[in-house]
Each structure stands twice: as C-alpha cells, then as structure tokens.
Amino acid sequence: MFPQHIGRYEVKRELGRGGMATVFVAFDPEFERDVAVKVLPREFLHDPHFRARFKREAKIIAALEHPAIVPVYDYGEDDGQPFIVMRLMPGGSLADRLKQGPLTLPEVARIFTRLAGALDEAHRRGIIHRDLKPGNILLDSQGDPYVSDFGMAKLTQGASSFSGSTIMGTPAYMSPEQAKGEHDLDGRSDIYALGAILFEMLTGKLPYDADSPMGIAVKHITEPVPRILDVKPDLPPGCEDVIRQAMAKDRRDRFPTANALVTTLQTLTAPSTHPQPSRPQPEPATQKAKPEVHETPTQPLGCSFVLRWALASAAGGAVGLPILALVIAVGAATAQAAGNVAATAIISAIGMGIALSLFGGAVAFAQWFVLRRLIPAVRWWVPASAAVWASIGLVLGFIVGIGAGRG
C-alpha cells in the first residue's frame, strides 16, 4: 500500500521503485496539476548519509535549471520522510522506448542533441551524473528527453560525493574508471555512459553482456570497445568511430564534451553521408543531344569531292616532285660509285624507296589536309600512302640499280 498523501500532494499511484527511492504520481491541489513525488524509503531514514544525499540531489537539480533536466518544484518532509516534487514526464523513460526496438540514427541524434547541452552544463558546474542510463532519461508528451536522477551525482570540487569507497553507477553503462573505484572522476565518465547508451539505442543491445553485474563491470575494464557494425551492419561506417571514441578505455581519448560527440554524430545524419544509388533519368525531349555529323559522311561524294582530291594531289605533287628528284639524283650518284651490281642495286633501292616515300607522304598529307572535315578517316592515308610509295620505290630502285650495275 502507498500513502494517500505526501505533504499537500494527493497520491494517485506508484510510478516506479528503485534501490534508494520510490516515485509516485500525485496531484498538486495548489496548482491543480499532476506531479512526480520522489520519496526516500523509510528503511533509510535512520541513516543520515542517505538523508543528506537525498536533499543534496534536490539542491543540485534546482541549481542547474536547464531545459533538458527534469525540474524540481518542491522539497520537504512528511512525518520525517523527505520527498522531492518534480515535473511529471508522461512519455515514460528511454528504457521504456527501447523495449519497442532500436531507434533510427536521426532519432538518436535528436535526443542526444538535447541531452548534450544538459550534461555539458552540469559538467561546467563541476557536477558528474555518474549514473546515466536509459532509465534515467525521461520523455515528455512530445518525446523530448530530460536527464533525471542526480542521486549519485559527484561534485568535482567542494563537497563530498557521499559515496565513500563504494563503486557508484549501473554496471551496464559504467566507465572503466568507475568500475575500478577511482575517485578522481570527471565529465568524461558521463561521456563513456553516453557511448554505451548510443550503442544500445542504435542496436537494441548492450555493448557488454555477462552473467553478473560484476562480470559486466570487468568487461568494461578489460575487453575492447565492441564493434557496432558487427551487430548492425547497415549503420553508416562512421558510427564505429563515434562509439570507439566515446567508449575509449583511456578517458583522455574520449570526446572532451557531450556536444563534441553530438557534432560528430550529426555529420552521420547529413544527406551527403548516405549517398543513394543514382538512377538514370530519361532526358527531356527538348534537351536530347543531336548526333555529331563528323563521324559519318553526310555529304554526297560528287564533283566537289573529285575536284578537291585532284587539287590536293596536285599541290602535294608540286611539293613532293623536287624532293623526289633530289633524292633520286643523290641515290644515282652514290650507286654509280659503288662499283658492283649488288651494291648498286641496294643503294638504288634505298634511294628510290626514300624518294617515293617522301613524295607519297607529301601528296597524302595534302589530300588529308583538304578533305579532313569531309572524311576524317583520310588521316590514315598519310602513313599508309607513304608506306605504299616506299614499297614501290624499293622494288623499282632495286630493278633500276641492277640494270645500271650491269650496264
């Protein structure tokens, strides 16, 4: 049975029960609204340690006053039992939402963007949450997240954390330094917990699993950072890097702030990060490219073509004839000085081949230059024609040389 009243608040039902507190849904007649009332169980009332921690939680939340931290409305005692009155979160917790399955990357980025500001504000004020987990992230009616339950929070300066030598936190999300019982913690322990929560939000699974809470804590200390793509391969590859840095064993390797983590996470949700396969789009009829006409002849090869061909051949011959005459003259003089039939034939063949090759090349070049726009394939006539004329020259020169040597 739960109490009918806590202070002026009319208790409706129990909302949840944890190791160090019970939360009720109650009605506030003063403001005519439903609220959440968190009370310290009576079995802890005899211990001043728990009473002081409970009161300190209310003061921490009230001092932070951040839009993404569940606000405190009231604090008091009823029949010696301390209670904290907070805003009621009708959307339940992130843990409740994860029972339906993993979230999409854009959903995760939206939630983390809001939470990051709250955590960085707490860290700037020297407050470490130390127990971040989906159950301590509450959702309002619009699905906006809020950080709650600063009962295990540690002040990095000034007051004691009230924890003594006890290891504080939830093993599934506990940083290695927390699991080791270290006391010089800072905000990067919360960054580690964010990395573990991120892993669970994207995959629906915890990063480490074991048969006991102690076994899980040991894995946080000793085992490598889990590869999220092994669990959910369809995630962007960059998710692996975010998890690896957020859950680094050495806190010096982690993101320095929650906002730094979120900034990297947001880049993975940008459209350019997930390029979609492009599909060929039909070209509009008005923009269809016209085929270029230079690949095939589109003009009749009539008198115009023959006239150009003749003119080109004449021009090439006019250039090539002097060269032909000069090379033949040099070759003949060299052949006559050879003194025997074989040498004369060979020298004559080489000279005639060179002469006719140059002549044929000159004619072919002139033909190609004049007709290149009409028939682009004519460009191959230059080397082909030179080779044909060279062959003819070699044969003729050899015959002439033999005749001259015998004469």
DSSP secondary structure string for all residues of 128-176 = E-S---GGGEEE-TT--EEE---TT-EESSSS--S-TT---S-GGG--H
Instruction: Measure Cα distances from 218 to 179, 180, 226, 248, 263 in Å.
Output: 7, 9, 14, 15, 30
The angle at the Cα of 404, spanning 399 to 407, to the nearest 5 degrees, equals 130
DSSP class of residue 375 equals -
Q: How many CA within 13 A on the CB side of residue 375?
A: 13
Polymer length in residues for the chain: 407
Binning pLDDT at 50, 70 and 90, where does residue 338 land? low
Q: Which amino acid is at 273?
A: T
pLDDT value for 279 = 42
Q: Rounded to an integer, what distance in angstroms lies between the CA atom of residue 168 and that of residue 320?
A: 100
Q: Which CATH class is domain 94-154+169-270?
A: mainly alpha
Tokens 């002081």 correspond to what residue?
Answer: 52
Output 271 or 81, whichever has higher pLDDT.
81
Residues 75 and 84 sit within 8 Å (Cβ to Cβ)? yes
pLDDT value for 33 = 96
Binning pLDDT at 50, 70 and 90, where does residue 310 land? low
* Helices assigned H by DSSP within 84-187: 94-98, 105-124, 176-179
Residues 1 and 19 sit within 8 Å (Cβ to Cβ)? no
Give Cα 337 distance to the centre of its chain.
Answer: 81
Output 57 or 257, whichever has higher pLDDT.
257
Cite the residue boundaries of each domain of the chain with CATH code 3.30.200.20.
5-87
Specify the 3-state DSSP secondary structure of 97: helix
Containing 206, the helix (H) or strand (E) segment is none
Q: Which of 99-103, 168-172, 310-314 has the lowest mean pLDDT?
A: 310-314
Q: Which CATH number fits domain 5-87: 3.30.200.20, 3.40.50.150, 3.20.20.70, 2.50.20.10?
A: 3.30.200.20
Output 235 or 63, whichever has higher pLDDT.
235
CA nearest to 197, candidates 345, 95, 68, 80: 95
CA nearest to 216, candidates 263, 175, 257, 164: 175
Percent of the chain with pLDDT over 70: 66
Strands annotated E in 197-324:
none
Q: Rounded to an integer, what distance in angstroms lies between the CA atom of residue 55 and that of residue 153?
A: 12
Cite the residue boundaries of each domain of the chain with CATH code 1.10.510.10.
94-154+169-270
Give me the active site residues, please. 131
Q: What's the pTM?
A: 0.64
Residues 123 and 180 sit within 8 Å (Cβ to Cβ)? no
86 has a pLDDT exceeding 90 = yes
Binning pLDDT at 50, 70 and 90, where does residue 348 land? low
392 has a pLDDT exceeding 50 = yes
253-271 mean pLDDT: 93
Residues 334 and 355 sit within 8 Å (Cβ to Cβ)? no
273 has a pLDDT exceeding 60 = no
